[in-house]
A and B are shown apart, each in its own frame.
Chain A
Amino acid sequence: MRWRVQLITENLEVTNNMGMTIAEKIIAAAAGVEAVKPGDIHTVTLDRMMSNDGTTHLTIDMYNQQIKNPTIADPEKLVFIIDHNVPADNPKTAASHKKMRDFAKEHHIDFWEGKGVCHQIMMEHYVCPGELIFGADSHTCTYGALGAFGTGVGCTDFLYGMVTGTSWVLVPETVKFNLTGTLKKGVYPRDLMLHIIGKIGANGVNYQVMEFTGEGAQAMSINDRMVLCNLAVEAGAKSAIFEADETAQAWLKEHGREPKHLFKSDVDAHYVKEYTFDLNEIEAVVAKPDFVDDVIPAKEACGVKIDEAFLGSCNNGRIDEMRVAANLLKGRHVADSVRFLIVPASNQVYMQALDEGLIEIFMEAGAIVMNANCSVCWGSCQGVIGEKEVLISTGTRNFKGRAGHPTSKVYLGSAATVTASAIKGVIATEDQL
């Protein structure tokens, strides 16, 4: 079943005299101009660039073989992170990692390996409100949780940015998502975001920015804001953003950073569309194989037999989700027929979970706790599933063959739904335990 879109307002007219959204202000600042409007193309100075082991080996080859005058504009703005296939699983991967490791060392680039998923590392150590950040990974839009404009790019864009310190940006339209009310018990921000994607579709905001606002947004923790922003690309968004309010500033302070810019959208800023979602009305949902926008109430999928459950990824591997899983697993056991992989999004999350005794609960319940990495979410490392097997996952995508064999199936659900399913051996919601 595909949801029907509920469009609240639509206004396609935009002039130079209107106020600007947060995203437009960030692009204007990066372009060194007073104002920008959707449809303009600007050259921007990038504040930071991140690349992971999914593509960096190709970027390095291109740098060495195709650039006439290879130079790096500002190594301090670059971050290389090995998180996808870590530890390396075969000699070719190992060679690709070595290339990245050696290049980072030679060019004095910040380098992380085995410390966590790239977006979690970036949020914990680098991202600041008001920054324009390119990441060679589609889920770079996660950084909007702190009021930054993060967007995913390919390795040619990354290479151009690395060499020149700049890039070209087509200013996107912004779509406002007004969140009212509060989520009910047993319903999580991941349910909300999957619900939204189900409503607007996999290209519902193609080339646009999702701006989350309203009291429901303001009440969210940075953990929850990351869940929403991270999945924005699954609706086609170029980026997603929250205002860097007191919650964001307090989080930054805890992580030893000061904001550079605290942009707010102007009251007369132009939004191409506006949606309102009442959080009280959201239910636990799952996305069915093989499309992220094929979203149904979780209760309609209950009873589907699963072979594996996965809790982790840049969307949902943080301490909040670890706590949800531990609460449900305490005193219970993973079904004999199920492998339950639990993968903290970073070593910081892992250590926190250790301190709180969550890892002990996971191990006693029969889960497999793995090192912080992208794991089965990206489908090319330990944990992949076999022919016709079924996975329920907190990962980012459920595309055909995404987690292993092309005939396998992936359902997406919240940490609670995944954990309940791991316990039952079939898709289940937490209220069924």
Chain B
Amino acid sequence: MGNIFKFHNDLDTDQIIASQYLLLPTIEEMKVHAFESLDAEFASKACPGDFVVGGENFGCGSSREQAPSVLKALGIKAVVAKSFARIFYRNAINIGLPVIVCKDLYDQVESGDTMELSLSEGIVKTGGSEYSCTKLPPYMQSILDKGGLIASLNEMESTAHHGESGGDQ
């Protein structure tokens, strides 16, 4: 069970992490500025296991991977939105942050509500109701299951070094 932080449609990556923080040395230093222009206390309020809920086109704009990375670093369990902008969606999967498409949830919840997510079943539970989510294509799910693209790459490297298939990657 985690708390919900709900944001508007067309939520852009500049709002998740502003340009002025992108060249800070580490994600840890950046994460305290997440959603700063919309909710200056977001980073201090968010707890591991909490959720970000978005409307249509969540994460539009910049390719800055810092956007999903600061959310993951703050312990956000998943972003659940009506739809995602493609680069944010891909970046999130690549770093192992679950991004869940759920059309029906958005209009039923507010910030401060609590919810529960079963990733394997693809079900969100909140306020006594259940909502089903769109499943990821198997290839993307396998990246997420392994903990992200770099973990997948390291796994392939290990396999390759043991003389098994997959060495062409």
Contact = CB atoms under 8 A, between A and B. Distances in A.
Contacts of B158: 68
B90 A379 contact: no
B24 A92 contact: yes
A48 interface: no
A378 B19 contact: yes
Contact of B57 (A69, A154, A168, A206): A206
A85 B19 CA distance: 10
A69 B155 CA distance: 11
B124 interface: no
Interface string B8-26: 0010101100111011111
A400 B87 CA distance: 19
Contact of B150 (A138, A156, A401): A156
Contacts of A170: 137
Interface stretch (B43-51, B61-69, B125-133): B61-69
A68 B160 CA distance: 12
A93 B22 CA distance: 9
Nearest to A401: B37
A399 B63 contact: no
B57 A203 contact: yes
B23 A154 contact: no
A33 B73 CA distance: 39
Interface in A82-97: 84-85, 92-93, 95-96
A307 interface: no
A31 to B, nearest CB: 13
Nearest to B36: A406
Nearest to B96: A156
A364 interface: no
A397 interface: yes
Interface in A355-383: 378-380
B169 A379 contact: no
Contacts of A206: 57, 83, 85-86
B63 A152 contact: yes
22 contacts: A54-B23, A55-B63, A58-B27, A62-B150, A67-B153, A92-B25, A137-B63, A153-B90, A153-B91, A154-B64, A156-B149, A157-B94, A159-B150, A206-B86, A207-B86, A380-B23, A399-B14, A400-B14, A400-B37, A401-B37, A406-B36, A406-B37
A137 B65 CA distance: 10
A65 to B, nearest CB: 10
Given A154-B94, A157-B91, A168-B139, A54 B64 contact: yes
Contacts of A275: none
Contacts of B37: 400-401, 406
B156 to A, nearest CB: 9
Interface of A: 41, 43, 53-55, 57-58, 61-62, 66-69, 84-85, 92-93, 95-96, 135-138, 140, 152-157, 159-160, 163-164, 166, 168, 170, 202-203, 206-207, 233, 236, 238, 291, 293, 378-380, 397, 399-402, 406
B123 interface: no
Contacts of A69: 157, 161
A18 to B, nearest CB: 22
Contacts of B95: 154, 156
B118 interface: no
A172 B14 CA distance: 25
B98 interface: no
Contacts of B68: 154
Given A157-B94, A400-B38, 20 more contacts: A55-B65, A62-B150, A84-B23, A92-B23, A92-B25, A153-B90, A154-B65, A156-B94, A160-B153, A168-B139, A206-B86, A207-B86, A236-B57, A236-B85, A291-B10, A379-B18, A399-B15, A400-B14, A401-B14, A402-B19
A380 B17 CA distance: 12
Contact of A55 (B57, B64, B83, B85): B64
Interface string B150-169: 10011001100100000001
B20 A138 contact: no
B26 to A, nearest CB: 8
Given A55-B65, A152-B63, A397-B14, A157 B149 contact: yes
A203 B82 CA distance: 12
Contact of B23 (A57, A135, A156, A238): A57
Contacts of A92: 23-25
